[in-house]
Amino acid sequence: MSRSTFSRLRLAKLAAGIQFVMLIALCVGLVANNVSAQSQPKSIQVLLLTGFDVKSHEWRKTSALVREVLEKDGLCKVVICEDLGILESSSLKKYDVVLLNYGFWNEPDPSSDSKQALLNYVRSGKGIVALHFACSAFQEWEEYTDVLGRVWKKGIGGHGPRGEFKVEIKDSKHPITRDMKGFHIDDELYARLSGESSIEVLATAYSEWSKKTEPIVFVQNFGKGRVVQNVLGHDLAARKHDSYQVLLRRSVSWAARR
**Residues 144-181 pLDDT 10s:** 999 999 999 999 999 999 999 999 999 999 999 999 99
Are 119 and 98 spatial neighbours (Cβ–Cβ below 8 Å)?
Answer: no
Are 28 and 80 spatial neighbours (Cβ–Cβ below 8 Å)?
Answer: no
Are 226 and 232 spatial neighbours (Cβ–Cβ below 8 Å)?
Answer: no
pLDDT of residue 57: 79
pLDDT of residue 56: 72
Are 129 and 230 spatial neighbours (Cβ–Cβ below 8 Å)?
Answer: yes
| Torsion sign over Cα 210, 211, 212, 217 | positive
Residues 6+ apart with CB under 8 A from 246: 180
Task: Give the DSSP H or E segment for 168.
Answer: strand 163-169
> How many angstroms separate the CA atoms of 258 and 46, rounded?
13
pLDDT of residue 7: 53
| DSSP codes, 69-85 | HHHGGGSEEEEEE--GG
> How many angstroms separate the CA atoms of 171 and 7, rounded?
76
Architecture of domain 41-255: 3-Layer(aba) Sandwich (3.40)
Show pLDDT as tens, one digit a residue, over the chain (258 residues): 555 554 555 555 545 555 654 544 444 454 444 444 445 679 999 999 998 766 677 888 999 999 999 999 999 999 999 999 999 999 999 999 999 998 767 777 889 999 999 999 999 999 999 999 999 999 989 999 999 999 999 999 999 999 999 999 999 999 999 999 999 999 999 999 999 999 999 999 999 999 999 999 999 999 999 999 999 999 999 999 999 999 999 999 999 999
Length in residues, the chain: 258
pTM, two decimal places:
0.83
| Residue of 43, 74, 111, 65 whose CA lies nearest to 244 | 65
pLDDT of residue 23: 47
pLDDT of residue 25: 47
